[in-house]
Structure 1
Amino acid sequence: MAHGILDQSRVHGNMELEDIGELYFKDLWARSFFQNVIDYGTYYVFDMHDLIHDLVQSVAQGECFTVKYTNTKDISENVRHLAFLEAGQNVSTTLQKLNKVRTVAANKIDIDESFLHTSFSRFKYLRVVELPRCSLQVLPISFGSLKHLRLLDLSYNKAITKLPTVICRLQSLQTLNFSRCENLEELPSDISKLLSLTSLWLTAKQTSFTKNGVGCLKSLRLLGISICSNLTSLPRETGYLATLRTLFIGGCKQLDLGNVNYHGTPLRLQKLYIKDLPWMVALPEWFQGAANTLQILIIESCENLEALPGWLASFTSLTKLFLYSCSKLSSLPKGMRSLTSLRELRIINCPKLERRCQRNIGEDWPEISHVPHVFFHFVN
Structure 2
Amino acid sequence: MESHFLRKPTSKRLHAITFQFNVDDGIITREFARTCISTCNHLRYLNLENGNFEELPSSICNLKQLRLLFLGYNKRLKKLPDSICELQSLLYLYLNGCLELGDLPKKMKRLISLRQLIVTTKQMSLQESGIQYLENLELLAFRKCQNLRILFEGACRLTCLRRSEIVDCARPISLPFGELIALESLLLINCKLKLTQDNKSKFPSNLRTLSIENSEQVVELLQCLDESAYSLEFLLFMTVRALRPYQYGCPITYVSE
Q: TM-score range by the shorter chain?
A: 0.7 to 0.9
1:242 match: secondary structure: coil
1:305, distance to aligned residue in structure 2 (A): 3.6
In the other structure, the counterpart of 1:100 is 13
1:278, distance to aligned residue in structure 2 (A): 3.9
In the other structure, the counterpart of 1:136 is 53
Give the conservation status (yes or no) of the 8 Å contact 1:281–1:306: no
Give the conservation status (yes or no) of the 8 Å contact 1:282–1:306: no
2:153 match: secondary structure: coil
Give the conservation status (yes or no) of the 8 Å contact 2:136–2:158: no
Whole-Å separation in 2 of the counterparts to 1:212 and 1:228: 15
Alignment of 1:365-376 (within 5 A): none
Whole-Å separation in 2 of the counterparts to 1:168 and 1:207: 21
Higher RCO (Cα < 8 Å, 6 or more apart): 2
In the other structure, the counterpart of 2:246 is none
In the other structure, the counterpart of 1:165 is 82
Pick aligned residue for 2:185 from 255, 271, 278: 271
Alignment CA distance shift 1:206-1:122 (3 Å) = same
Whole-Å separation in 2 of the counterparts to 1:196 and 1:207: 26
Deviations 1:159-205 (A, max 9, x none): 00111111011111111110110110110111111111111000111
Give the conservation status (yes or no) of the 8 Å contact 1:208–1:234: yes
Whole-Å separation in 2 of the counterparts to 1:313 and 1:193: 34
Q: Give TM-score, length-normalised by structure 2.
A: 0.82
1:314, distance to aligned residue in structure 2 (A): 4.5
Whole-Å separation in 1 of the counterparts to 2:121 and 2:234: 30
**Greater Rg by CA:** 1
Aligned partner of 2:233: which letter? T
Give the conservation status (yes or no) of the 8 Å contact 1:207–1:231: yes
Whole-Å separation in 2 of the counterparts to 1:272 and 1:294: 8
Alignment CA distance shift 1:157-1:190 (3 Å) = same
2:164 aligned with 1:247, yes or no? yes
2:208 aligned with 1:295, yes or no? yes
2:17 match: secondary structure: strand
1:316, distance to aligned residue in structure 2 (A): 2.7
Alignment CA distance shift 1:142-1:296 (3 Å) = same
2:196 aligned with 1:285, yes or no? no
Alignment CA distance shift 1:140-1:234 (3 Å) = closer
1:241 match: secondary structure: coil
2:121 aligned with 1:204, yes or no? yes
Deviations 1:335-358 (A, max 9, x none): xxxxxxxxxxxxx59xxxxxxxxx
**Uncovered stretches (5+) of structure 1, i.e. residues with no partner:** 1-89, 328-347, 350-380
Whole-Å separation in 1 of the counterparts to 2:227 and 2:107: 40
Percent identical pairs in the alignment equals 31
Whole-Å separation in 1 of the counterparts to 2:201 and 2:18: 40
Alignment CA distance shift 1:323-1:216 (3 Å) = same
Q: Report the number of matched residues.
A: 235
Pick aligned residue for 1:152 from 61, 69, 76: 69
In the other structure, the counterpart of 2:253 is none
Whole-Å separation in 2 of the counterparts to 1:159 and 1:203: 12
Give the conservation status (yes or no) of the 8 Å contact 1:222–1:245: yes
Alignment CA distance shift 1:237-1:151 (3 Å) = farther
Whole-Å separation in 2 of the counterparts to 1:91 and 1:227: 32
Give the conservation status (yes or no) of the 8 Å contact 1:249–1:273: yes
Give the conservation status (yes or no) of the 8 Å contact 1:273–1:297: yes
Give the conservation status (yes or no) of the 8 Å contact 1:272–1:297: yes
Whole-Å separation in 1 of the counterparts to 2:37 and 2:169: 34
2:232 aligned with 1:318, yes or no? yes
